[in-house]
Chains A and B, each alone.
Chain A
Amino acid sequence: MRLSWIEIRDFRNYHEASLQVPPGLIVVIGPNAQGKTNLLEAMYYLCTLESPRVSSDLPLVRSVTFSPGGGGQPPASLSPGPSSAFLRGEAESSGGRALIEVEVRGGGQNRVQVNRSPVRRKRDLRRHVRAVFCGPDDLRIVQGEPDDRRRFIDECVRTLWPAKEGTASAYERALRQRNRLLKDWPGPAAPPGLEGWDAELVGHGAALTSVRAGAVAEIAGRASQEFQRLSGQTAEALGVEYRPSVEPAGTETLEAAFRRRLDERSADELIRRTTLVGPHRDDLGLRVQGLTARGFASHGEAWGAALSLRLALGRAVASELGEDPVVFLDDPFSALDPERRRRLAAGLGGRGQVLIAIPDESQLPEETATVWCVREGQVAAA
């Protein structure tokens, strides 16, 4: 699948831009702070209705307009910015074409239309287009807290199987209800009604554990391959392993294991007044050359691991759907040595539509089909 064109209005530093998006590898070049990442972000947002960088939509709307100075004139006045950003574009996949229109409102609900009819849920959009974004923030997957890795696993779940998106939020709600009950109950024994929440926690938790396990199984082997290709050595493998909070022993079902672990920790839970067992305590084990990536991997290795995980997600989606998702790589080369840069660049062909943002031309991959130059929120074909 691919984007075939996009129109951007009042998004980040873009006032107005309209672009035909060809297939293959597209390289976005420009100095710092000109809008390369913003362009990738706009395209990713159109595909997923999510920003890879911020959770609130407020920063996405262009905040201040400069009066058209031109000719070196200083901006004459500052006026209040627009209240919404607009993104329009068309996605093509084997399922057909989809015209996607999004009004990003700084506050309040966005308006989204696909083929002129309104869409309520993000996952309805994923029937038409899927995208994978990899940017500097992804270092957190490797070097950050377990929470960052759980977020990554859940993103893999959503991208691979949009229908399973609700699994994580259903668990989250059951967990919050149960935690509140434990926290607010004044008595020393178990609060009344806890069994009901246990049942909800176990049901949704087991469902979440198994979809997470499925998603990690899809990307683990592929990530290891991507990492090997990047490093050029077979020995330097990346180990990816799901570490669930609840693991069945022997022939035990996941639900039974969850219940057993809850029973084991119940006394402790009444003292600590919070839920101590469940997928909210999962982690993703990442090892480089047998050592825990967090803490042991160098900056370059950590970035290579993050990149490999994202590229693996792209490959997994491709094998699930039979066509490649749109892939965005923001500044992929900067932490890599020249040899790894060359190998990454050489491996970017044959992945469908891939957009990468880089600050200078010396890093231009050979496979590049299209080059866009970005300057002050304007895009020009080179």
Chain B
Amino acid sequence: MFEGPIQDLIDELSRLPGIGPKSAQRLAFYMVKAPAQDARRLAEAIVAAKEGVRFCRDCFSVSEGELCRICRDPGRDPEVICVVEESKDQAAVEKAGVIKGRYHVLGGAISPLEGIGPDDLRVQELLDRVGRNGVREVILATNPNLEGNATAMYVAALLKPLGVRVTRLASGLPVGGDLEYADEVTLGQALEGRREM
């Protein structure tokens, strides 16, 4: 639609997740109008992130050094591992501040439709870690959707023979929510997991 570099930029931006052609166009024109040093800073941040970000040797979360902040922290219980799909899920769980142990980032969930099998995830690394470090409990915190459940199931089947306690996050009603707006599946699961009072 446009000529030369501006169209190249729009094309590149529109390949990003969540960015459609209209947003890409808006961002591209914003950057063209913005001061030169802003554009340079953004470009450098992208390159630096791509080159500088590494994955933690133990948990495969994004990290600056060889080990991430949590794996370096001696105060974290090494006998409890919380398994998540992505680094951003780890950040969400960490924000809640309820996990005193460490994490393991699988790098996704099993999804045959997208061509992601167990070998594409860091499952073997998790098994090695559990066998090596005398882990007491593995908490499976993959997403509560079809793919996350199937992944949890698969990982659990491999972990159980190692004699470790394997737990799965509960599903249910959001705190502060209304029953009226809860969908049927969630309500059903909340009912299944009800507790004695």
B150–A197 CB distance below 8 A? yes
The distance in angstroms between the C-alpha atoms of A222 and B120, with both chains bound, is 53
Question: Within residues 63 to 113 of chain B, which ones have a CB less than 8 A from any CB in chain A?
Answer: 110-113
| With known contacts A177-B112, A180-B112, A192-B117, A170–B185 Cβ distance under 8 A | yes
Q: Which residues of A contact B113 (CB under 8 A)?
A: 176-177, 180
Query: Within the complex, which residue of B115, B146, B184 is in contact with A173, where a contact is CB–CB below 8 Å?
Result: B146
The distance in angstroms between the C-alpha atoms of A184 and B119, with both chains bound, is 14
The distance in angstroms between the C-alpha atoms of A176 and B112, with both chains bound, is 9
| With known contacts A170-B146, A193-B150, A163–B157 Cβ distance under 8 A | no
Q: List 29 A-B contacts (CB under 8 A).
A: A163-B183, A163-B184, A166-B183, A166-B184, A166-B185, A170-B146, A173-B146, A176-B113, A177-B111, A177-B113, A177-B146, A177-B147, A178-B112, A184-B112, A184-B115, A192-B118, A193-B110, A193-B117, A193-B151, A193-B154, A195-B154, A195-B157, A196-B150, A196-B151, A196-B152, A196-B154, A199-B150, A199-B153, A200-B150
Question: Within residues 104 to 151 of chain B, which ones have a CB less than 8 A from any CB in chain A?
Answer: 110-113, 115, 117-118, 146-147, 149-151
* Residue of A177, A180, A199 ringed by the most chain B CB atoms within 10 A: A177
Q: Which residues of B contact A195 (CB under 8 A)?
A: 153-154, 157
Minimum CB–CB distance from B122 to chain A (whole Å) comes to: 15
The distance in angstroms between the C-alpha atoms of A192 and B158, with both chains bound, is 11
Taking residues whose C-beta sits less than 8 angstroms from the other chain, chain A's interface range is: 10 to 19
Given contacts A173-B146, A195-B157, A200-B150, 6 further A-B contacts (CB under 8 A): A170-B185, A177-B147, A184-B112, A193-B154, A196-B150, A200-B146
Query: Within the complex, which residue of B115, B149, B184 is in contact with A196, where a contact is CB–CB below 8 Å?
Result: B149
Minimum CB–CB distance from A186 to chain B (whole Å) comes to: 11
> Which A residue sits closest to B111, measured CB to CB?
A177
The distance in angstroms between the C-alpha atoms of A196 and B185, with both chains bound, is 18
Minimum CB–CB distance from B33 to chain A (whole Å) comes to: 28
The distance in angstroms between the C-alpha atoms of A173 and B149, with both chains bound, is 13
Q: Which residues of A contact B184 (CB under 8 A)?
A: 163-164, 166
B112–A196 CB distance below 8 A? no
Q: Which residues of A contact B185 (CB under 8 A)?
A: 166, 170
The distance in angstroms between the C-alpha atoms of A196 and B112, with both chains bound, is 12
Q: Which residues of A contact B147 (CB under 8 A)?
A: 177
The distance in angstroms between the C-alpha atoms of A200 and B142, with both chains bound, is 15
> Which A residue sits closest to B182, measured CB to CB?
A163
Q: Which residues of A contact B183 (CB under 8 A)?
A: 163, 166
- Nearest 9 pairs of A and B residues by beta carbon: A196-B150, A196-B153, A180-B112, A181-B112, A193-B154, A163-B184, A196-B154, A180-B113, A177-B112
> Which B residue sits closest to A211, measured CB to CB?
B184
The distance in angstroms between the C-alpha atoms of A181 and B116, with both chains bound, is 10
Q: Which residues of B contact A177 (CB under 8 A)?
A: 111-113, 146-147, 150
